[in-house]
Amino acid sequence: MKKYYEILNDSSQYEEMPPGYLTDVELIQLLNKKNVKIERTDNICRFANNNNIKMARLLRDGSFGSPPTIFQKPSDSKIQEILEKHKNNNNSLIGREILEKKKKKILEIFDNSPSAKDYDKKMEGVSDEKKSEIRKIKWEKCMTRTLIAKKVSELLGVNCNRKLVASILDKKRSSQLDKLLKKE
């Protein structure tokens, strides 16, 4: 992918703004209105390049400074694509908000799930038939890291994996990890 300054240097300059183009301030306002949050407005050209928003330059007035950059107005589908991309990226503002929601949801699901250790206690001193029934119920009701990750993904509509679940549970609920299912 070409750098944004290479694209701008290769493009021709417009004398006046063509229709369908926005200034950097207008683009930021449009994106904020559509819930796409941008952390650093000084990197708007990099943001546009990374999200395939076309850019061009206007002829500047006077001889000082750089020529102003204009951006083609992104379509609604392009804005939705940007939103989805940023939801699954933990380095974006939207992604960091989603990450906090994931953490809360992981802890909520873990806290509400029954303990596998309780089912293990029920299986002590019981016949083999009864053990298999209890084991079946245990595997239906208790959670693993992968099951928690799948449930979070379904509830929030974003990617979540067992490694994130493991790291959060290790930090916040390390004394209760025996509540999770383990392969027998």
pLDDT in tens, 74-86: 999 999 999 988 8
* Better-scored residue on pLDDT, 128 or 97: 97
Q: Distance between CA atoms of 80 and 101, rounded to whole angstroms?
A: 20
pLDDT value for 107: 93
- pLDDT > 70? residue 183: no
pTM for the model stands at 0.70
- pLDDT > 90? residue 9: no
pLDDT in tens, 41-93: 788 888 888 888 988 888 877 777 778 888 999 999 999 999 988 888 888 88
